[in-house]
Amino acid sequence: MRGTDSENDRHSTAAGGPAADDPLPRIRRRFFGSLVLLGLLFGSFLGHVFRPGPVELLRVEPVARGLQLWFNREPELYSQDVDGAVGMLFQSKGDADAGRVEIEGGSAGWRVQSTDKGLLLHFVATRPLIASWSGEAMDGEWRLRIEVKPR
């Protein structure tokens, strides 16, 4: 006849007894999984609500020896001088515009055009040009002053 204790220290209950049917671990996993999912959804919602809108070019004003560009906030700016022409790429949106500006001993043409990478500003003249710029926040807007002069 067999006894209730076995030689390898197992209990006498069957393998599928009440300890194996305990639903508490499964409920805990579902609960913590639900918390993680709700946290991700709530974080995504907050990120969408507080994400700033795109940078926009508000207006372009010709000034002595250059331009003033007004943005709703500071844009990313990439500049390059190519054979005496000045090109600037702004990570922003806005309207196309063009005109002429008086520089030392002549004039230069400028043009703002929209590209798939942002706004592109060109300065072109009959002589090689160089540009310098400075930006500052004023009244909740960002002003970028660009000064162009012959090389």
List pLDDT tens digits, range 70-109. 999 998 888 887 777 889 999 999 999 999 998 887 888 9
Which domain range does residue 47 map to?
Answer: 16-51
Q: Is residue 6 part of a domain?
A: no
pLDDT at 143 over 90: yes
Is 3 part of a structural domain of the chain?
no
Question: Domain check: are 72 and 135 in the same one?
Answer: yes
Domain count, the chain: 2
Q: Which residue has the higher pLDDT, 80 or 37?
A: 37
> Are residues 94 and 42 part of one domain?
no
- Quick check: is 142 in a domain? yes
SS3 readout for 16-78: CCCCCCCCHHHHHHHHHHHHHHHHHHHHHHHHHHHCCCCCEEEEEEEECCEEEEEECCCCCEE
Does 111 score more than 90 pLDDT? Answer: yes
Length of the chain equals 151
| Residue 139 and residue 101 in one domain | yes
- Report the CATH number at residue 95: 2.60.40.3500
